[in-house]
Amino acid sequence: MSWPGARVWLHDFAPAYPAVFVVGALQCWRFQRTRLLFAMIVLVMADRVLLHFAAGVDAAIPPGSVVLSAVALLLPLNLIGFAMVPERGAFTLTGLVQWTAIFVQPALVIQLVRSGETLPGLLNATLVDPSYFAFLRIPQLAMLFFIIAFVVLVSQLIWEPSEERKALVWALVAGFLAVNTGEGGLDSTSYFATSALMLVLAVIDVSFRLAYQDALTALPTRRGFNEMLAQMVGHYTVAMVDVDHFKSFNDRHGHEVGDQVLRMVAAEIGKVGGGGKPFRYGGEEFAIIFDGKRVEDVQPHIEKLRSTIAGRVFTIRGAFRPRKKPDQPKEPKKPRKTLKITVSIGAADSTDPKESSEDVVKAADQCLYRAKETGRNKVWVRARPRI
């Protein structure tokens, strides 16, 4: 933040910075994102400690530089720890250990200040020629841990991408810039507040996905279906899709196989033509909305969907089958178990102006019931004179 104009702009927003931390922590708590909650708390503590020792009344005394070195070292170590520890909840045994580790650190920093020159001298140890890092204002040992943390967090992000992991990476970068200012104050607080804001955005994204995206199939949830349905005007068609004999799959082969079946069916429903928007309605039932289409317009598309699923041979995954298909898969030692999966589909449209959207869904459900009642693996649509 070296531009005068930017500093004036940041001064105008400075009173809002504490609110960013508070709101962020509350959002993390509300949506049970303990990893991000702990990261938020550490960012707040780092900011407050630097403000007190490096920008407050104690800025002129030597302990301020020791505290800066300690914060620069502990911040990346904390973010590595939060990224490596599984999400277990704030008040589980794992969570309590993390709470303890977090609040022991201020006492550790105070002890460093009182320890004399040996340990603080180690924090500022020279590892390589200082001329290579003349642009840095943090100790080389802390820089090493920032590099290690960056490699660990980016590796995790590449291996298993998620908004939480992405937010932790950017929080680390913003935290580095905050500490590298060499002093507490507006500049460092601005960077810390920015990193906290990134964590808040990650929480919002995660909460949105929990509400609107089904974790198993990655399709929009019933809430999304209801909201889209409420926005429908004019002609539209609703198709209800149900996996035939799904309960028997679960009872005979277990819930893991049942989940595989649902993912396979969802993948095919996601490819439906005719402009259909698919949703996970609940259990083994899916829904598709065709905006602006009459039932006879969508019938070829849902019939193709039914026949495509019926024509697939579903192979049961082995317990140790890799998540991704290898380039050169090994031949199985014994024949794999296969299943035939079928679906029944019922569809109705909104051509009657007297009907509400709930009536259309109910009519589609009744058509689905008729498809299952007459033998399953069928498409049944509501036929009636057009107005």
Average pLDDT, the chain: 79
Residue 128 is assigned to a structural domain of this protein: yes
Residue 326 is assigned to a structural domain of this protein: no
Q: How many domains does the chain have?
A: 2
pTM greater than the 0.85 cutoff: no
- Give percent of the chain above pLDDT 70: 76
pLDDT at residue 58 tops 50: no
Q: What contacts 24+ positions apart, CB below 8 Å, involve 3-8?
A: 7/186, 7/187
Same domain, 185 and 268: no
pLDDT at residue 218 tops 50: yes
| Distance separating alpha carbons of residues 263 and 253, to the nearest angstrom | 15
pLDDT at 27: 72
Max avg pLDDT among 22-26, 41-45, 49-53, 260-264: 260-264
Q: Determine the 3-state secondary structure of 196 from DSSP.
A: helix
pLDDT at 36: 81
E strand segments, 246-310 = 276-282, 285-291
* 269, 263 Cβ separation under 8 angstroms: no
Q: What contacts 24+ positions apart, CB below 8 Å, involve 1-9?
A: 1/181, 1/186, 1/187, 1/190, 7/186, 7/187
Residue 205 is assigned to a structural domain of this protein: yes
Same domain, 248 and 157: no
Q: How far apart are the first and last CA of the chain?
A: 66
pLDDT at residue 343 tops 90: yes
Position 212 confidence tier, pLDDT thresholds 50, 70, 90: confident
pLDDT at 7: 52
Same domain, 36 and 110: yes
Q: What is the DSSP letter of 158?
A: H
Residue 178 is assigned to a structural domain of this protein: yes
CATH number at residue 362: 3.30.70.270
Lowest-confidence segment of 54-68, 223-237, 243-257 by average pLDDT: 54-68
Q: Kindly state the tokens that stand for 82.
A: 């939060």
Range of the domain at 264: 222-321+334-381
Residue 29 is assigned to a structural domain of this protein: yes
Q: Determine the 3-state secondary structure of 353 from DSSP.
A: coil
Q: Which residues, 6 or more positions from 2, have their beta carbon under 8 angstroms from its beta carbon?
A: none
Position 56 confidence tier, pLDDT thresholds 50, 70, 90: very low
* Mean pLDDT on 290-300: 92
Q: 78-110, pLDDT tens digit by residue?
A: 888 888 887 777 777 877 888 888 888 877 777
